[in-house]
Amino acid sequence: MSDNDNNRDRSEECSGPHSLICYEPAREIIDSSKLTDYQTCPRKFFFAHILGWRPSGSNIHLTFGTAWHKAKEHLRWALHLEGNYSPLALQGAFKHFMAAYSVGYPEPRSWNDNATKSPISAYRGLVQYVAKYKRDKFKVVFTEVAGTVPINNDGDHIWFKIDSLVEEKDKGYVIYDDKTSSSDYALQEKFGMSFQFGTYIHAIKCYLGLSERMGHLAGVVADVVTFRTAPYNKLLKSGKYSSVVNGKGHTFNRIPIIKNSAQINRWGNEANSVVQDMKRDKLALLEEDPSDLNMRAYQCRTTSCSDYGGCPYYNLCWQAKNPMKMVEELGTTAPVGFERSFWNPEEDARDSRTWMEL
């Protein structure tokens, strides 16, 4: 019997507060974002992916990022078919952006509240993007390609979803991944060691090795747009405008990430190490008692509490040294400010244009 079967058998037998952490299909599916969440802080992973407690309400960063992906996908196909980023392609890209953005923010009166992540900001970004990269020349192989790829011989797979795979003359195949940011600080360091890009390179190298396509994978390009306030002159009390320009405006960076065989091997070792730690914590959780002072499984990693503007689970960690006590009291209800939903990479991947099972 495999480890997965053993884990499932033990989960199906649990009761009491443990019944809320029993077998849930979404928990069994691993992708780069889950591995990164676990590496960042196991307790954060526990709240988000084991209990399914997520901040309630629309997430502007997620909504804007999804809409921006849709716009960029349209631009790449336009370049593939027409050979350039035409005004018509720009209009189509913004139309795709608005279709996705309106899902999270259907009321136009709320758009101005989002400042740099508003439709106006996105349109300005698209106009500047096509002007900056007007010399782009490549052929699109896939957009929104998703699937699974093995990371060991024990049956563990990692799910992935890649924005675009293109073929560039004299370079070979290149993975383009769209990123939105609020700062240009240390982009190479931020994305160069990204767990996500190791997954992408591993997946596409497996694909090229198994398919009839011949070619070289040059690497990943993190296509980063930093959205910031547009330059403007401040209105002074005198009624005149200052000569000092405020606001830096959007910036555009393409960060190349190239990994050799040794680096991909290191990525594989790290992935397997994290997966094994996740399995151990999952089993240890079944031994936790709500009456204990502290929870030993899924330990807090306190150096991450201030990352990305502050962890949404900070107050939960501060108030509940043993979250199992909170689980016992709340039952299937999430705490105030949260809702219960599970991120399932499989559902997201199945909606992609291209599917791979490697």
Question: Tokens 């952006």 — which residue?
Answer: 97
As beta bridge partners, residue 290 has none
Question: Tokens 């500047």 — which residue?
Answer: 128
What's the CA gap between 83 and 100, in Å, rounded? 26
In this structure, which amino acid lies at residue 101?
Y
Residue span of the structural domain in which 317 resides: 28-55+272-348
As beta bridge partners, residue 131 has none
Residue 300 lies in a domain: yes
What's the CA gap between 257 and 260, in Å, rounded? 10
Which H helix or E strand runs over 80?
A: helix 60-82
What's the CA gap between 140 and 132, in Å, rounded? 19
Strand intervals (E) in 57-138: none
Residue 4 lies in a domain: no
Among candidates 326, 307, 323, which has minimal Cα distance to 41? 307
Residue 89 lies in a domain: no
Domain count, the chain: 1
Residue 288 lies in a domain: yes
Q: At what angle do helices 195-210 and 261-285 cross, to 10 degrees?
A: 120
Residue 203 lies in a domain: no
Residue 154 lies in a domain: no
* Parallel, antiparallel or unpaired: strands 139-150 and 53-55: unpaired
Tell me the CA distances in angstroms from 261 to 138, 202, 265, one per residue in order.
26, 10, 6
Residue 243 lies in a domain: no
Residue 339 lies in a domain: yes
Where residue 219 falls (left for φ over 0; alpha for ψ -120 to 50; beta otherwise) is left
Among candidates 49, 256, 249, which has minimal Cα distance to 168? 256
pLDDT in tens, the chain (358 residues): 444 444 444 444 445 556 656 667 788 899 999 999 999 999 999 999 999 999 998 889 999 999 999 999 999 999 999 999 999 999 999 999 999 999 989 888 878 777 789 999 999 999 999 999 999 999 999 999 999 999 999 999 999 999 999 999 888 999 999 999 988 888 999 899 899 999 999 999 988 876 656 678 999 999 999 998 877 666 677 776 665 555 678 999 999 999 999 999 999 999 999 999 999 999 999 889 999 999 999 999 998 898 877 899 999 999 888 999 998 888 888 999 999 999 888 887 777 777 787 6
